[in-house]
Each structure stands twice: as C-alpha cells, then as structure tokens.
Amino acid sequence: MIGGREFRWGERTYVMGIVNVTPDSFSGDGLGDNVDAAVRLALQMRDDGADIIDVGGESTRPGFAEVPPDEEMRRVLPVIDRLARELDLPISIDTYKAEVARAAVHAGATLVNDVHGFLRRPEIARVAAEAGVPAIAMYNHRGREFRDTIGNIVEGLLDSLRAARERGLPEEHLIIDPGFNFGWKDEQALEMIRRLGELRVMGRPILIGTSRKSTIGNVLGGLPVEDRLEGTAATVAIAIANGADIVRVHDVKEMARVARITDAVVRDWTPEAQPT
C-alpha cells in the first residue's frame, strides 16, 4: 500500500510523474516557487495516467549545489500540502534529508524517495519507519569505484536495505532503484537496462528513471533535453520488458501509453486486463 492505494507488483507497470520545484532542474522543467504551476502540472499528470507524483526541491544534476533543509522545505511543503488536499494520488517526497522527509510526510507525502539509499543520512529511514510509509532506496554510483554494473548495484542496495532494517524500516516497505545516470558511463547505464532483470534476485519492486537523461542524448548524437522523448520511450519499454515495476518520467501521457503497450506485450494482455 502507498498512500492508501494498493500496488499489485507484477500485474502492470506504474507511472511516477516528476514535479520539480527547483530553479535548476537538468531537464529544464523546474518550476521554482510557482506553487500553482506545480499543482496544475500534478493534476494534469494524474489525468494523463500517473499513479504517483514525486515532488523534489533540490536538483540532482551533476555538480548541483546543495540546498539547505529550510530552503528545500520552503520549496516543497506548500506544493505537498496543496496536493494532499486536491490530488487523489500518493505523493512522494524526493529528498535525502531526514528533516525534509519528516516535514513532507506531515504535510501529506506518503512515500520517501532517497537518491542516496539511506547511506548519506541514514536517519531518513527512521523517519519513514516511524511514519509507517514506504521508501525508495536508490543506488548512487557517484564517487564509487566501478567493478561490475549489476554487482555494484546489488552491493550498494544491500547496504541500503541493511541501513533501513537497522532503523526499523522493514524490507517489505522498500522499492529499489538502480540509479540510471547517477555516476555511470553511458555504456554502463545502457547495460543496467539490459540486465535489469538480474535485480529480481533482491525480491523488491524495481523503479527506474531514465527520463530525458544525458545517456539518451549522447546515444542520439547529442540531442538536447527537449528532443529526448523517443529515446526515453525506448528505454522505458525495454526496462519494463526487463522487469521494471515503476517508471519515473517527465512526459506522463506519452510514457503511460508506452507502459500500457509494453505491458500488453510482456504481461499477456487480454481485453479484460485493463489497468486498475
């Protein structure tokens, strides 16, 4: 359960829509202080097929400047508070700071999404545990020595699961994310998608976020962010075919359609098997 909704892993792919309330998002979609625009975007994403809305107040682009917790809360809390009253979908808070996660959950977030997998500031796992909400543990390869793509990911995620368990967050409340483009060379990022099914050994639902990422632009000859829709669609389809349960995307309408068609192929679609 996430935010009172049942998520039946393995039956279909769920779509997480990205709402960035930052001035410096890598994808050019940062909404800054415009709460009304953020709420409108989230409501449109719901209508376009999103199952979860992920709200973030700090960019994670390479070389990003860290935002103090007070500033991050100033950005995200008004949006989460409004969405909790106006949106009938689970709301995720994209942060690695315990104090931000605690305030966001109090405002109405029902999922914690940590791009450091509880390893940078482990207390965030305790926040999720005490609030009784699930959490996403992402493997972040930045600054780490490379040995093997899936081997690195599994090793890092096992550390995340251990950190969560030590702070009272049960494994059944965890979703794992291999961290596409977080410290990887392009060929390694592509290998991650190709070998994604190997992460099934961990027994947890898999989220992946390839949307508009630099590897897609590089493979397509240096395309800018705004021209990466088709490349994103290809990575989303292949990730689903290889075991992804949730796809985190900017272009919800298009990727919800990609997910539905891919599910029809890989999950043996029938006319009665409609998304619920």
Tell me: the pLDDT tens digits for 75-132? 999 999 999 999 999 999 999 999 999 999 999 999 999 999 999 999 999 999 999 9
Residue 269: the pLDDT is 75
**Residue 68's CATH number:** 3.20.20.20
- How confident is the prediction for the chain on average, in pLDDT? 93
**82 catalytic per annotation:** no
**In which band, very low, low, confident or very high, does the pLDDT at 149 lie, cut at 50, 70 and 90?**
very high
State the average pLDDT over residues 136-164.
96
Instruction: Return the percentage of the chain with pLDDT > 70, whole number.
Output: 93
Q: Long-range contacts: 234-241, Cβ < 8 Å, 24+? A: 235/180, 235/193, 235/210, 236/210, 236/211, 236/262, 237/261, 237/262, 238/193, 238/194, 239/193, 239/196, 239/208, 239/210, 240/13, 240/266, 241/265, 241/266
**Enclosing domain of residue 125:** 14-266
Is the pLDDT reported for residue 275 higher than 50? yes
**97 catalytic per annotation:** no
Q: Determine, yes or no, domain membership for 1.
A: no
Q: Determine, yes or no, domain membership for 3.
A: no
Q: Determine, yes or no, domain membership for 6.
A: no
Q: Total structural domains in the chain?
A: 1
**In which band, very low, low, confident or very high, does the pLDDT at 66 lie, cut at 50, 70 and 90?**
confident
List C-alpha distances in Å: 52 to 127, 135, 195, 203: 20, 13, 25, 21
Q: Determine, yes or no, domain membership for 78.
A: yes
d(CA 211, CA 201): 25
Residue 30: the pLDDT is 52
What does the pLDDT look like over 166-219, one tens digit per residue? Answer: 999 999 999 999 999 999 999 999 999 999 999 999 999 999 999 999 999 999
**In which band, very low, low, confident or very high, does the pLDDT at 22 lie, cut at 50, 70 and 90?**
confident
- Which residue among 46, 75, 97, 213 is the active-site one? 213
Q: Determine, yes or no, domain membership for 2.
A: no
Whether 257 and 265 have beta carbons less than 8 Å apart is answered as no
38-47, 55-64, 104-113, 128-137: the lowest-pLDDT one: 55-64
- Which residue among 248, 257, 260, 267 is the active-site one? 248
Residue 28: the pLDDT is 44
Q: Determine, yes or no, domain membership for 274.
A: no
Residue 274: the pLDDT is 59
**In which band, very low, low, confident or very high, does the pLDDT at 27 lie, cut at 50, 70 and 90?**
very low
Q: Determine, yes or no, domain membership for 197.
A: yes
